[in-house]
Structure 1
Amino acid sequence: MEDGKKICFVICYNNQNYLSECLLYIRNLNIPDGYTIDILQIEDASSMAEGYQAAMDATDARYIVYLHQDVFILEKDFIKKTIKIFESDADIGMIGMVGTKKIPESGVMWENKERVGLLRSCNLNTVDDNFDRQMEQPYTEVEAVDGLLIMTNRQNVNWRTDIFDGWDFYDISQSFEYRKNGYKVIVPYQEKPWVLHDCGFLNMREYDKYRKIFLSEYMKKS
């Protein structure tokens, strides 16, 4: 039976140092009265979608936060604020920190000027990225969100493990699956970044492979 007062945090990881830091931030979050949290740590998953599907099948939590091991939640009232958004509109099914109002024909989220959200990125320097579009209050509806952090309140939309068996485009795919099922995908208004992404080296070796799979599955022209 689904527990409507539980939030499950899911982390696929292969680096213990990143995991420890990620957990530290989660455990410092303010937990609203009456709610509980659970944390599922998926080590060395064969793919992001596979790890996330396994976690979704294992938890009874209504709210699930899927986040990368190198993402640290800065906003201490993250749980309260996101649940308030879900409760404000029963059609909202997915929340992300960064997204795009329109996926370009290439399928690459970052190739147009429709990006929205706020993110603190840590690479050579620490910067706050405001992206292209001004955020709307209390949220902006988007076509897709970035997988660095995804929060859902539905257990009836499976991850596409059948076609996304790697580390790319699982997030945009899941955004499209939610919208296909009639749910809204949104990016909340943030006065300052709710999360920090300690983004290091990106392995893009199979990115184009999964981009083509995404285009074939979701953006075929009639």
Structure 2
Amino acid sequence: MNPHVNQHSISFITCVNDDTLYDLCQRHIQSLSVPPHMKVELINIRNADSMASGYHKAMQDSDSKYKVYLHQDTFIINRNFIYDLLYVFQQNDGLGMIGVIGAEEVPQSGIWWEASKKAGKVIEYRSTYSYLLFDEIDETV
């Protein structure tokens, strides 16, 4: 683990096996509004044994305080994403991680969408766009 944590850096970490999708993912990241004191780092992991091992290696190699793990076919459309992310963390000292969609408790299968209580929202594309909306989370703690 890198002993030095860069408070003014955010890394976007992606496992990549499709350059076309990753190029689009990168373009969305590069169009985000970035606070003047922040540096954005794009880390792509290729030929990892698994997504988990790829993400873990990048986590250890990056000194960014803020790390965003996303799939190569994930496109961030909120241009204020970095500002919003920093705000949530600055308002909640004990917060260690946030996500856009998931489950209150992960079921035995380990598959979040099989859980009884899900939260979050995303726009999904499977031959057509659809809006996946689960419970809203009103508090950040």
Q: Same fold by TM (over 0.5)? A: yes
Q: 1:93 aligned to 2:96?
A: yes
Matched, 1:61 2:64: yes
Aligned equivalent of 1:75, options 70, 73, 78: 78
Question: How far has the Cα of 1:109 moved from its partner?
Answer: 2.0
1:92 alignment partner, SS class: coil
Q: 1:138 to 1:51 in 2, by over 3 A?
A: same
Partner of 1:137: 138
CA distance in 1, matches of 2:116, 2:128: 23
Residue 37 of structure 1 pairs with residue 40 of structure 2: yes
The number of aligned residues is 138
Matches within 5 A, 1:58-207: 58-131=61-134, 133=135, 135-139=136-140
User: Which residues of structure 1 form unaligned runs of 5+?
Assistant: 142-222
Q: One-letter code of the match for 2:137? A: E
Task: Return 5+ residue gaps in structure 2 as ranges.
Answer: none
Contact kept, 8 Å, 2:120 with 2:137, in 1: the verdict is no
Cα RMSD after superposing both structures: 1.4
Which residue is equivalent to 1:22? 25
Q: Which deviates the most, 24-33 or 100-109?
A: 100-109
- Counting aligned pairs with the same residue, the percent is 30
- The alpha-carbon deviation at position 56 of structure 1 amounts to 1.4
TM-score, normalised relative to structure 1: 0.59
